[in-house]
Amino acid sequence: MIDFKIVTTKTGDNGTTSLYNGDRVRKDNPVMEALGDIDELNSWLGSVKAEMKKLGALKFSGHVEKVQRTLFNIASEIATPKNSDLYKKIGHPKQEDLDFLEEVEQEILTQTNIGNSFILPGVNGCSSKIDITRAVCRRAERKLVYLIIELKLDNLVFSEKYVNRLSDFLFILGRHFEQGQTEKM
């Protein structure tokens, strides 16, 4: 288990780090690469959430926070070997998390013009941050696919499905904020 009161442990000075159950792996291990991408995705979502709060889009910032919490569960799944006793005790993404994402996406779609051409990011600060977040999300998805196919971590299939849907959600959300819409839902 992680002692959150200790930040500098010096145990990683040799190029290794711990999985959640304490197993040591190299920092360039594909599992750690995927965790890094999920962490970056969650950080960008935090930036998006802060931007939404500045715009007064509190309902949307709440939706983003819910996604962030689901990403914590996905990171826990990635960081915990499925044969570990700890794996059964950690949080896991659930069908209700995916359903929520899809329901909000459909609600946003009723008020957003998607268009039929490629988009050029940069219409405004919030939509730009959402588009960066979407690109990081796609990278995280590619890493999850690698873990599933190459490392046979089939326990991550649902997490990959969620991250795939999340990138779609972020695309729609970016278009919504690009069009200056915030709390019309």
CATH code of the domain containing 135:
1.20.1200.10
Residue linked to tokens 């977040």: 133
For residue 53, being part of any structural domain is answered with yes
For residue 14, being part of any structural domain is answered with no
The span from the CA of 163 to the CA of 151, in Å, is 18
pLDDT band at 185 (very low <50, low <70, confident <90, very high): very low
Q: Tell me which residue range forms the domain holding 90.
A: 37-178
34-86 pLDDT tens trace:
999 999 999 999 999 999 999 999 999 999 999 999 999 999 999 999 999 99
For residue 23, being part of any structural domain is answered with no
For residue 20, being part of any structural domain is answered with no
For residue 163, being part of any structural domain is answered with yes
pLDDT of residue 70: 98
The span from the CA of 19 to the CA of 32, in Å, is 8
Helix (H) or strand (E) holding 76: helix 58-79
The residue among 35 and 27 whose pLDDT is bigger is: 35
The span from the CA of 184 to the CA of 99, in Å, is 21
For residue 24, being part of any structural domain is answered with no
Six token digits for residue 74? 């996905």
pLDDT band at 32 (very low <50, low <70, confident <90, very high): very high
For residue 1, being part of any structural domain is answered with no
Q: What is the pTM of this model?
A: 0.89
Cβ distance 148 to 156 under 8 Å? yes
Cβ distance 75 to 38 under 8 Å? yes
The span from the CA of 165 to the CA of 82, in Å, is 23
Six token digits for residue 61? 């910032």
For residue 21, being part of any structural domain is answered with no
- From residue 3, give the alpha-carbon distance in Å to each of 9, 47, 69, 116: 10, 27, 20, 50
159 SS3 class = helix
Number of helical H runs and strand E runs in the chain: 5, 2
Report the domain count for the chain. 1
- From residue 113, give the alpha-carbon distance in Å to each of 105, 108, 166, 174: 13, 10, 19, 11
